[in-house]
Amino acid sequence: METLSEVVSTDFIYGLETWLDDWFLVFALALFVFELIRYAFKKKLSWDLMGDSVANFATLAMFIVIVALVAGVYAGVFFYVYENFRIIDLPVTGWTILACIILADLAYYWEHRFLHMNGFGWATHTVHHSSPHFNISVAYRHGPMDWFFPLFFHLPLAVLGFNPFIIFLAEVIVQIYQTLLHTESVKKLPRPIEAIFNTPSHHRVHHATNKQYLDKNYAGILIIWDKMFGSFAQEKETVNYGVFPRVNSVNPLTVFFSGYGTFFLRLWHAPSWSHRFKLFVKSPTWAWQQEQQEKKGSN
C-alpha cells in the first residue's frame, strides 16, 4: 500500500505509455494468429474474413496518420487546461493513477454511449461496428474522427487536477483492455468476473445487430457502469455482427470513410433543414427507420 503512495516521475509514466503502445500491438497480432488457427480448425477461415482483417489493420494505419497530425494539438489542449484551470494539484502516485484509470473508464462509457446516440458521432464509430466478423483485428477497425470525441469526455480529468501524462496512460490502458474483448475464442468467464468486469461475452452483445442487444454494454473495463445506468444486456442467443446499412466491402478506403459517406448522403437527400438537424442529433436507429418508411412509401 505504501508503494501506491510513492511519487512517480512523469518520465516513467510517459515511458510506460510508449512501451504499452509499441508492444501491445505485437501481442495483439500474436493473438490474432492464434484466432486464425482456431478458425482454420473450425473450418471457418474464409477469404472474406481475411480480407476484412486486412482492411481492419489498414484503417488502423490511416488512423495513425491522422493521429500523428493532430497529436500535438490534442496533447496541447490537455496541458493548457491542466496548467490554467485545474482545481487542485494531485500528485503523480499509484493512487492517483488508479483513480484516473477508474474515472477514465467512466468517461469512456459516456463517450461511447454518446457516439451511439447521435448521427455525427455514429458516422465515425459505425466503422468499428461495420465488420460482420468478430476477432482481435476488429478492435483496430477505426473511423477517421475517432481521435476527436475522447477529448471532450476526458478533458474534465485535467480540470480535476490529474496530470495529462496520467490521463493519456489511463486512456491507453482502457483501450488495451477493450482490444482483448474482441474475440469469440473466450466464451464466459467465472461469474464474479462477469459481474464486475467487461468481458468478451458482454462485448459481443455490444457489437450485435440482434434487436434485444442494440445499444447495450458500452463499458470499457468495468461492466458495472452499464448496470448502474441501465444499458446492460447479457449474452443469451447467438450474436449477429455488423451494422445497417451494411458496408459489404473489404476495401480499406470504403470501410474507413463508409460512416461519413452514408451520413453526408443522408444530409444531401434530406427533405428539409429540420430533418438534417435531426440527422446530427438523433440516433442512427432513427435515421435508419426514416429510410425504411420512405422505401415503404415509394412501393
Asked if 151 and 76 touch (Cβ cutoff 8 Å), the reply is no
Give how many domains the chain has, as a whole number: 1
Total-model pTM: 0.94
pLDDT tens digits for range 22-74: 889 899 999 999 999 999 998 989 999 999 999 999 999 999 999 999 999 99
**97 assigned to some structural domain:** yes
Averaging pLDDT over each range in 5-9, 180-184, 280-284, which range is the top one?
180-184
Tell me if 264 is assigned to some domain.
Answer: no
Q: What is the mean pLDDT of the chain?
A: 93
Residue 2 pLDDT = 61
pLDDT grade for 299, boundaries at 50, 70 and 90:
low
Whether residue 128 lies inside any domain: the answer is: yes
Q: How confident is the model at residue 288 (pLDDT cuts 50, 70, 90)?
A: confident
Q: Residue range 83-112: average pLDDT?
A: 96
Task: Report how far apart, in Å, the C-alpha atoms of 200 and of each of 122, 189, 203 are.
Answer: 22, 9, 5
The pLDDT of residue 37: 94
Q: What is the pLDDT of residue 298?
A: 63
Burial class (CB in 10 A: 0-12, 13-18, 19+), 161: middle
Range of the domain at 22: 2-228
DSSP state of 244: S
Using one digit for the tens of pLDDT, what is the confidence trace for 189-240?
Answer: 999 999 999 999 999 999 999 999 999 999 999 999 999 999 999 999 999 9
* Residue 297 clears pLDDT 80, i.e. is over it: no
- Is residue 243 situated within a structural domain? no
pLDDT cut 70: percent of the chain above it: 98
> Which residues does 72 contact at the CB level (< 8 Å), separation at least 6?
none
Cα–Cα distance for residue pair 124/116, rounded to 1 Å: 10
Rg from Cα positions in the chain: 20
Return the half-sphere exposure (C-beta side, CA atoms, 13 A cut-off) of residue 177.
19
Question: Which of 239, 106, 222, 90 shows the shortest CA–CA distance to 166?
Answer: 90
Contact 52, 35 (CB under 8 A): no
User: Is position 49 within any domain?
Assistant: yes
**pLDDT-derived band of residue 1, with 50, 70 and 90 as boundaries?**
low
- CA-CA-CA-CA torsion for 9, 11, 14, 16, nearest 10 degrees? -70
pLDDT of 287 reads 85
In the chain, pLDDT over 90 holds for what percent of residues?
85
